[in-house]
Chains A and B, each alone.
Chain A
Amino acid sequence: MSSLEIRGIQKSFSSTQVLKGIDISIDSGDFLVLVGPSGCGKSTLLNMIAGLDSITAGDIVIDGDVVNEVRPSQRDIAMVFQSYALYPNMSVAKNISFGLEMRKVPKDERNQRVASVAQMLQIEPLLDRKPSQLSGGQRQRVAMGRALVRDPKIFLFDEPLSNLDAKLRVDMRTEIKKLHQRVGNTIVYVTHDQVEAMTLATKIAVMKDGELQQLGSPDEVYNNPNNLFVASFMGSPSMNLLESRIIQQDGAPVVPVSLKSGEEIFLPLPQSPAYRKYLNKPVIIGLRPEAITDPGSAEQESSLLYSSSCQIDMIEPTGAELYAIMELNKQEVVSRMRASCGVQSGQTAEVIFNMEYAVLFDPETELRIS
């Protein structure tokens, strides 16, 4: 168990800068998820932590020691690869014990450790098989076993679930989380799937174009996004972003929004000194789908509920809930409702806006106003 610090890490491949100075610091036992669209540099950063990629500038610090020049095998890390990277010529048991063998662990101890890891991951019947005889999920387990058996300071996961089918992915996700709770090691996990990030992480680092957009707990990143990118990237369906402006009405700040019927409604905003500076100026208002809902699922204790009747253009039932699509400010807006709330496409329904969860952004800087 160890802390990890990433200080001002930069990476350039010839003339293109892939990472533009990343600072992240996590404590021992943290589960850090690096998330972002493809090409944001998250995998490169992971490779640099592993020591597989050279560092252009900055420091990687594990347990207070700068490890920039330390070889991957000496960093006491283990990595699970996207493709699993199981050695095709070795049996499952050999695959798991290879790292121990290279570290000259005596044979008896090796066998013992392989057995205990196999038991933990429930792969004991597979130990004599070759990787080619395993299913995707089994390979995934073996790859995790290979990392676990070493009991390293830090685990690195590089999109480990992206090659599994949807059902298995959810199962393995739960198992990884259980595993983390049981062994409590520090984990760095790369994914492009924001649901994985939300469910697994104790800390999420959202990245884009080689820059860190936000570092925080899943709750912070979801509810208090730093900027427009984080707001739209995290969450599914993604946050509704409407262009509007702040005006004063009866001494309170509100944002006007036009309905499909042409009627204009004024959504209340929480009291915040920051909003005063934007009075009568354009802003972008962000509303999560669950903040626009049917009266039955609205949080009644919220102090900023606003009710209005809106025309529902289309509904998308998912079974557990229902996404109702409507038009605000001539823009498509998704709202999340109970499956049994009875709204129909083409009809009007009463919709509750929970403005407590509204977030505002500056349209020019794209930064959060708060």
Chain B
Amino acid sequence: MTDTLQANGVSSARFWRVALYTTLIVFAVFYLLPLYVMLTTSFKSLAEIRQGNMLALPADWTIEPWLQAWGKACVGLTCEGINSYFWNSIKMVVPAVVITTVLGALNGYVLTKWRFTGHKWVFALMLFGCFIPFQIVLIPMSQVLGKLGIAGDTAGLVLVHTAYGIGFSTLFFRNYYEAFPSELVKAAMIDGAGFFGIFWRILLPSSGPIIVVTVIWLFTNIWNDFLFGASFAAGEGAPMTVALNNLVNSSTGVKEYNVHMAAAIIAALPTLLVYIVAGRYFVRGLMAGSVKG
């Protein structure tokens, strides 16, 4: 009696499990379909694409479209591929992410462990900064960049993204350090560590998870930004996103779908990589054992 009940329970659990996984797989396939089309198209020749079998695997695999996208495709008037723009983006995103993360960590540290009168207001204003739409600041920002003499330059974009990202990175770090035991800071003070000593030796080594979160967030946002790139860095200095747009939207000549797809994947690759690499270091429980329990 109980055995049959149990068997019924097991089989119905199995049914629901199968149903659940089927649904999940269907959705995953649906979601991955565009990527599949992009990948297959990027390995086909133009002639094969014209035959119209969008979902079919390439009959003749070719990496020619990738080489073209990287080194020969025409962006605007020059035909040297997207590689220089790719490096533009790297030159913009790396300093912006590093500076913003470090400043956010410092802000979070001061706002939680070295509180001053009005610290709540400062934090509230920084939070407010997170909610200002990009479009609003375009004109004032271009004036500022012009006065600083870094308009149309990668340095200008770094400044813009740092200014925008600092609100978020401060928010992340402040909330993380809020839960960081203040007694550790006090102990370090008595041990003779100074302001930066405590920061580098005590807080930062315990900040792994939040650094990863901040870096993923900032990297994705800054790499994928199109508006600031299109507004403040035209021509040679444009980042990847703008170049991709210029490549795909060119109205002259044949539409080289395979090259466009390859270029789009190249443009998406770094953010993908950051997720895969940094996600691994998303170590939990770094704080275990510092305080009671």
Residues of A within 8 A of B (CB): 47, 50, 52, 71-73, 77-79, 81-89, 98-99, 102-103, 130-134, 136, 139, 146, 150, 163
Whether A98 lies near B188 (C-beta < 8 A) is: yes
Whether B292 lies near A83 (C-beta < 8 A) is: yes
Q: Does B206 contact A (CB under 8 A)?
A: yes
Which of A72, A83, A150 is B189 in contact with, Cβ under 8 Å?
Answer: A72
Known interface pairs A81-B187, A99-B191, A102-B197; 18 further A-B residue pairs with C-beta atoms within 8 A, sorted by A's residue number: A50-B190, A78-B190, A79-B186, A79-B187, A79-B190, A81-B183, A81-B186, A88-B288, A89-B205, A98-B188, A99-B190, A131-B289, A131-B290, A133-B289, A136-B292, A146-B187, A146-B191, A163-B292
Q: Does B163 contact A (CB under 8 A)?
A: no
Q: Does B184 contact A (CB under 8 A)?
A: yes
Given contacts A102-B193, A103-B192, contact A85 B187 (CB under 8 A): yes
Please name the residue on chain B nearest to A80 by beta carbon.
Answer: B187
Whether A87 lies near B290 (C-beta < 8 A) is: yes
Please name the residue on chain B nearest to A130 by beta carbon.
Answer: B289
Residues from 189 to 210 in B contacting A, C-beta threshold 8 Å: 189-193, 197, 201-202, 205-206
Which residues from B are CB-within-8-Å of A102?
Answer: 191-193, 197
Best-surrounded residue of B183, B187, B189 (most CB of chain A within 10 A): B187
Whether A73 lies near B189 (C-beta < 8 A) is: yes
Whether B292 lies near A73 (C-beta < 8 A) is: no
Q: How far is the CB of A263 from chain B (nearest CB, A)?
A: 53
Q: How far is the CB of B139 from chain A (nearest CB, A)?
A: 44
Q: How far is the CB of B226 from chain A (nearest CB, A)?
A: 39
Q: Does B26 contact A (CB under 8 A)?
A: no
In Å, the complex CA distance between A78 and B190 comes to 7
In Å, the complex CA distance between A132 and B206 comes to 13
Best-surrounded residue of A77, A88, A163 (most CB of chain B within 10 A): A88
Which of A83, A103, A136 is B183 in contact with, Cβ under 8 Å?
Answer: A83
Q: Does B54 contact A (CB under 8 A)?
A: no
Q: Does B291 contact A (CB under 8 A)?
A: yes
In Å, the complex CA distance between A139 and B206 comes to 18
Whether B191 lies near A83 (C-beta < 8 A) is: no
Which of B184, B191, B197, B289 is A132 in contact with, Cβ under 8 Å?
Answer: B289
Best-surrounded residue of A72, A134, A136 (most CB of chain B within 10 A): A72
Which residues from A are CB-within-8-Å of B206?
Answer: 88-89
In Å, the complex CA distance between A50 and B186 comes to 10
Please name the residue on chain A nearest to B207 by beta carbon.
Answer: A89
Whether A88 lies near B289 (C-beta < 8 A) is: yes
Pull 15 A–B residue pairs with CB atoms less than 8 Å apart, ordered by A. Answer: A47-B186, A52-B190, A79-B186, A79-B190, A82-B183, A85-B181, A87-B201, A88-B288, A98-B188, A99-B191, A132-B285, A146-B187, A146-B191, A150-B191, A163-B292
In Å, the complex CA distance between A82 and B291 comes to 9
Please name the residue on chain B nearest to A158 by beta carbon.
Answer: B183
Q: Does B138 contact A (CB under 8 A)?
A: no
Residues of B within 8 A of A (CB): 181, 183-184, 186-193, 197, 201-202, 205-206, 285-293
Which residues from B are CB-within-8-Å of A50?
Answer: 186, 190
Q: How far is the CB of A141 from chain B (nearest CB, A)?
A: 14
Which residues from B are CB-within-8-Å of A82?
Answer: 183, 292
In Å, the complex CA distance between A83 and B187 comes to 11
Q: How far is the CB of A88 from chain B (nearest CB, A)?
A: 4
Which residues from A are CB-within-8-Å of B291?
Answer: 83-86
Whether B188 lies near A87 (C-beta < 8 A) is: yes
In Å, the complex CA distance between A47 and B77 comes to 69
Given contacts A79-B186, A81-B186, contact A86 B289 (CB under 8 A): yes
In Å, the complex CA distance between A52 and B186 comes to 7
Which residues from B are CB-within-8-Å of A87?
Answer: 184, 187-188, 201-202, 290
Which residues from A are CB-within-8-Å of B181?
Answer: 83, 85
Which residues from A are CB-within-8-Å of B192?
Answer: 73, 99, 102-103
Whether B189 lies near A52 (C-beta < 8 A) is: yes
In Å, the complex CA distance between A81 and B290 comes to 12
Please name the residue on chain B nearest to A86 by beta carbon.
Answer: B290
In Å, the complex CA distance between A132 and B286 comes to 9
Which residues from B are CB-within-8-Å of A133?
Answer: 289
Which residues from B are CB-within-8-Å of A130?
Answer: 289
In Å, the complex CA distance between A86 and B287 comes to 10
Which residues from A are CB-within-8-Å of B187?
Answer: 79, 81, 85, 87, 146
Whether A88 lies near B290 (C-beta < 8 A) is: yes
Q: How far is the CB of B293 from chain A (nearest CB, A)?
A: 8
Which residues from A are CB-within-8-Å of B184?
Answer: 85, 87-88
In Å, the complex CA distance between A79 and B285 comes to 26
Please name the residue on chain A nearest to B191 by beta carbon.
Answer: A99
Q: Which 4 A-B residue pairs are closest in the complex by CB-CB distance? A: A132-B289, A88-B290, A102-B192, A99-B191
In Å, the complex CA distance between A72 and B287 comes to 25
Which residues from A are CB-within-8-Å of B191?
Answer: 73, 98-99, 102, 146, 150
Which residues from A are CB-within-8-Å of B288?
Answer: 88, 132
In Å, the complex CA distance between A136 and B202 comes to 21
Please name the residue on chain A nearest to B189 by beta carbon.
Answer: A72
Please name the residue on chain B nearest to A53 by beta carbon.
Answer: B186
Which residues from A are CB-within-8-Å of B183?
Answer: 81-83, 85
Whether B190 lies near A73 (C-beta < 8 A) is: yes
Please name the residue on chain A nearest to B290 by beta carbon.
Answer: A88
Which residues from A are CB-within-8-Å of B186?
Answer: 47, 50, 52, 72, 79, 81, 85
Which residues from A are CB-within-8-Å of B205?
Answer: 89
In Å, the complex CA distance between A86 and B291 comes to 7
Best-surrounded residue of A79, A82, A134, A150 (most CB of chain B within 10 A): A79
Please name the residue on chain B nearest to A136 by beta carbon.
Answer: B292
Q: How far is the CB of A355 from chain B (nearest CB, A)?
A: 46
In Å, the complex CA distance between A78 and B189 comes to 10
Best-surrounded residue of B189, B191, B193, B288 (most CB of chain A within 10 A): B191
In Å, the complex CA distance between A163 and B292 comes to 7
Please name the residue on chain B nearest to A81 by beta carbon.
Answer: B183
Which residues from A are CB-within-8-Å of B287?
Answer: 88
